[in-house]
Amino acid sequence: MDALTPQPELLSLLPEELEQLFLSIGEAKYRAKQVFPQLHRGLSPREMTSLGKALQEKVLQNASWHLPTVEKKLVSAIDGTVKYLFGLADGHCVESVVMKYEHGNTICISSQVGCRMGCKFCASTIGGKVRDLTPGELLGQVIAAQKDMGERISNIVMMGIGEPLDNYDNVIKFLHLVNHKDGINIGYRHISLSTCGLVDRMADLAKENLPITLSISLHAPDDETRSTIMPINRRWGVAELLGACRSYYAQTGRRISFEYTLIARKNDSVEQARKLAQVLNSHLRTKSEGMPIHVNLIPVNEVAETEFRRSGRDAIAAFARVLESKGIRATVRRKLGADINASCGQLRRESMQTAKG
């Protein structure tokens, strides 16, 4: 390998790529079968006794290994939610949150360092996007959290820092890696991906044929409101986005869930709830069968730098009632980790501010 080619990252490699790596350094390809499961359990090559000292060093001369390091860990005294600030090889940080449910542990992972989507209520986007995460860094969050907690993680939501569909190729590769039977082996049906609505990429995703759950961050029923809080809406408006949802469902048969962050006096009126029911029903249930629609209502998490405030309890209940009355399932998201500010983006901001002094 010449000095200009970046070294492959061990955690980003599929088993067949790992085989190629071993072959390229003059080693037998069965080594890949030994190493892949151990990497995915969080072992460094130096901890793999089956390789022997000489081969451990040879691997590390030809490839890089870095597992996200726990820079900070907050555990909720209320519900056991764990929030990690993970350090990456180049010193940047991302956040992951592990939530404990009866059906198992769910991790919320980040997809980029920062974000360039510019949603006005979101802490992750304030400093813009720094860079994409590699497949190995996406996977590394799951491995590192599982290793630190000593418990299996059974579900993944891609709802942390970043826009997963803006880091498309790496995210798709990560999905294949994390689903691999010799690795962490999390079923696609246990993985959700949330997007602010990159319509072109939604069409690509439909073709991947991965039975993951797609979530759409809708947050407003009309272009006027949505464009003021989500700049992406100026590229693809509500009608185009819901049209893309309809195609996605038609192609994959996978139902889509919608996220709706309730912001006081911005998008939480009964009028807006009616409008929301109307646009969802008209785009997604034109025929009598149609797609079952589920909206997650999320009281906005107040971010220090923004002026957005939470809707009152009554407004939230009234909003949900209107949706239900129009045949749309609405649930108000239970807030986990309230005492550790468990939503993503804020811990990284704090650490950046501390670093700046």
Interface ranges with ligand SAH (CB under 6 A): 117, 119, 121-122, 159, 163, 194-196, 217, 259, 261, 298, 300-301, 303, 343
Least Å distance between CB 160 and ligand SAH? 6
Residue 117 or residue 153: which is nearer to ligand SAH going by CB? 117
Length of the chain (residues): 357
Token pair, residue 235, equals 């590229």
Are the CB atoms for 139 and 9 separated by under 8 Å? no
Residue 111 or residue 179: which is nearer to ligand SAH going by CB? 111
Residue 19 or residue 259: which is nearer to ligand SAH going by CB? 259
Token pair, residue 62, equals 């030809």
Are the CB atoms for 188 and 212 separated by under 8 Å? yes
93 is catalytic: no
Q: What are phi and psi of 70, to 5 degrees?
A: -75, 105
With a CB cutoff of 8 Å and minimum separation 6, the contacts of 311 are 262, 263, 264, 268, 299, 300, 319
Least Å distance between CB 234 and ligand SAH? 15
Least Å distance between CB 308 and ligand SAH? 7
| Active-site residue (options: 95, 137, 163, 259) | 95
Residue 18 or residue 119: which is nearer to ligand SAH going by CB? 119
One-character DSSP codes across 70-109: EEEEEE-TTT--EEEEEEPTTS-EEEEEEEEETTEEEEE-
Give 68-71 contacts, CB < 8 A, sequence gap 24+: 68/94, 68/137, 68/140, 68/141, 68/144, 69/144, 70/144, 70/148, 71/351
| Active-site residue (options: 108, 119, 122, 344) | 344
Residue 117 or residue 238: which is nearer to ligand SAH going by CB? 117
Distance spanning both ends of the chain, measured CA to CA: 41
Least Å distance between CB 76 and ligand SAH? 17
Side-chain-side CA neighbours of residue 251 (13 Å): 17
Amino acid identity, residue 342? A
Token pair, residue 85, equals 């600030």
Least Å distance between CB 167 and ligand SAH? 10
Least Å distance between CB 340 and ligand SAH? 15
Residue 34 or residue 213: which is nearer to ligand SAH going by CB? 213
344 is catalytic: yes
Annotated catalytic residues are 95, 344
